Amino acid sequence: MLFLAHTYNGFPFALKTYSDQLYSLLADSQYVARPIGLIQREAIRRYLRANNTIYAITTAQQLTLQGDPAVAVFPFARPDLAILPGSLRLTGNRGDSLTARSDSVVLAGIIANYGRTTNIPLSVRIRRYTAAGQLIREQRFTRPAPLYADTLRWVLPNEKTTTGPAYFELLLDPDDRITESSKANNRAEISSAGPASGLPFTPDQIAPILDVSFDGLHITDGDIVSPQPRVDVLLRDDNTRLLRTDTTNLELYLQRPCTSASCPYERLSLRGSTVSWTAAGADNAFQLHYQPPTPLPDGLYTFEVRGSDLSGNQAAPYQIHFTVQTQPEPRAATAYPNPFGRQTRISLLLSGQTPPSTATLRIQDLTGRTVRTLTVAGRIGLNEWVWDGADAHGTRLPVGSYIFRIDATDSPTLAVPLTGRLILQP
């Protein structure tokens, strides 16, 4: 019990001003959960700062707190939402047991708030798993947070193709939008076979990894690619218990060239003769091979891949810009580092529609003698050679200047070989 009263005869206008300061602190989120002694001290400080009259000083001195100053009037500093243990119920849409013939799934449970009320809407995430741990469905519901306790009811579509017991996991505030005293009571589980004290498997919370290449190469942002590139998407997951066999929850998007500030993304179809995939093996690496059904026109494109594993964990999205240029044109060859001591990388960008069958780099000394020949499969986009300063037999060549020449077979792009100078250092 707490009493705050004037010990003599107070003045109404002074008492009113003092009371306004006190009640404003009781409504202040920074003070509401603090001990009443601290609130009274702060109220007096603010009161005297604004009213430095003899009436105000007398009122502040003669208002006395009877009770323990360490007591908090509102002891809960934060909300504390919880699913009451044993309150979850699972039925079909007619109130009977959930079976494969039920049209929908009905979940009901009591959600309580053991702390302060909050105006932030409460989000509830419901996941349905198989007994092996595969995520079948995830759905979210949002409603006002309960003041104290409320019985809530959620309806989900029934997955009639699954067999065996189904496990449902409810999680309150999955995005941590509400700062609570405790998150330990925000989760509960139930099974179609009856109550469940947890899931029969360890939930997979590690996101998979996406890896994307164009015509067998990892490109950098803005690189040139062929008008009809082969895109290889690798989705690798560490959970070998759930192996991916199809393209479920794997999405490819393409933003075509346009002049407006906001260009729409087109979701690419994963059906057709130019699309194939390889089911995940023991390493749980799923491979998707995509190729545009028709060549892409010239321009700058944005390509995006989104994917998740069978437990519902989202991989970090992959996004990159690439350029299509159908006019055959060689870009200047570059070598880096140059001068070099151990090795240098010679690069060449090619545009066009058809790549050369091979691209050859010839290293010559200043007498014109070829000391090393390196050949790679030609490609539209980036072509690279690495030279270690040795001849074809692995013998280190003398330091000095060398000439490189690049040419390609069956390509109008390199009708005239490109040349450059290399400097080999000790």
Instruction: Say whether both 191 and 232 belong to one domain.
Output: no
How many Å apart are CA 387 and CA 378, to the nearest integer?
17
Query: How many angstroms separate the Cα of 15 from the Cα of each of 1, 7, 8, 173, 268?
Result: 21, 12, 12, 43, 72
How many Å apart are CA 217 and CA 134, to the nearest integer?
33
Q: How crowded is residue 335: how many other Cβ atoms within 10 Å of its Cβ? A: 18
Domain finish residue from 309, 324, 339: 324
pLDDT for the residue 417? 67
Instruction: Say whether both 357 and 339 belong to one domain.
Output: yes
Give exposure, 151-167, as e/b (b: 16+ Cβ within 10 Å). Answer: ebebebebeeebeeebb
Instruction: Say whether both 163 and 265 belong to one domain.
Output: no
Instruction: Say whether both 217 and 142 belong to one domain.
Output: no
- Residue 24 is assigned to a structural domain of this protein: yes
- Residue 285 is assigned to a structural domain of this protein: yes
- Residue 53 is assigned to a structural domain of this protein: yes
Instruction: Say whether both 313 and 338 belong to one domain.
Output: no
Q: Give the closest residue to 356 by CA, choosing from 408, 416, 418.
A: 408
How many Å apart are CA 145 and CA 178, to the nearest integer?
10
**Number of domains making up the chain:** 4
- Residue 76 is assigned to a structural domain of this protein: no
Instruction: Say whether both 360 and 403 belong to one domain.
Output: yes
How many Å apart are CA 49 and CA 366, to the nearest integer?
90
Contact at 8 Å (CB) between 295 and 353? yes
Q: Give the closest residue to 385 by CA, choosing from 363, 412, 355.
A: 363
Question: With the CA atoms of 245, 251, 257 and 259 taken in that order, what torsion angle do they form, in degrees rounded to the nearest 10?
Answer: 180
- Residue 398 is assigned to a structural domain of this protein: yes
Instruction: Say whether both 214 and 300 belong to one domain.
Output: yes
Contact at 8 Å (CB) between 187 and 83? yes
Instruction: Say whether both 191 and 292 belong to one domain.
Output: no
- Residue 202 is assigned to a structural domain of this protein: no
Domain finish residue from 169, 195, 221: 195
pLDDT for the residue 412? 56
Instruction: Say whether both 122 and 191 belong to one domain.
Output: yes
Q: Residues 6 or more apart from 9 whose CB is under 8 A from it?
A: none
Contact at 8 Å (CB) between 347 and 384? yes
Residue 15: in which H helix or E strand, if any?
Answer: helix 12-26
What's the CATH code of the domain at 349?
2.60.40.4070
- Residue 90 is assigned to a structural domain of this protein: yes
How many Å apart are CA 376 and CA 61, to the nearest integer?
92
For residue range 259-284, what is the model confidence (pLDDT) as tens digits?
Answer: 777 788 999 999 888 899 999 888 88
- Residue 287 is assigned to a structural domain of this protein: yes
Contact at 8 Å (CB) between 346 and 331? no
113 burial level (CB within 10 Å; 0-12, 13-18, 19+)? buried
Task: State the Rg of the chain over Cα.
Answer: 35
Domain finish residue from 299, 324, 349: 324
Q: How crowded is residue 183: how many other Cβ atoms within 10 Å of its Cβ? A: 16
What number of H helices and E strands is found in the chain?
Answer: 3, 28
Instruction: Say whether both 338 and 315 belong to one domain.
Output: no
Torsions phi, psi for 45 (to 5 deg): -60, -45
What's the CATH code of the domain at 269?
2.60.40.10
Q: Give the closest residue to 422 by CA, choosing from 360, 346, 348.
A: 346
Instruction: Say whether both 107 and 32 belong to one domain.
Output: no
What one-letter code names the amino acid at 375? Answer: T
Domain that holds residue 349: 329-424
Sole residue written with tokens 């519902």: 312
Q: What is the DSSP string of 383-419?
A: EEEEE-SB-TTSPBPPSEEEEEEEEETT-STTSS-EE
pLDDT for the residue 150? 93
Tokens of 208: 């998979």
pLDDT lower than 50: segments of the chain: none
How many Å apart are CA 116 and CA 146, to the nearest integer?
10
Instruction: Say whether both 316 and 280 belong to one domain.
Output: yes
Tokens of 12: 């109404």
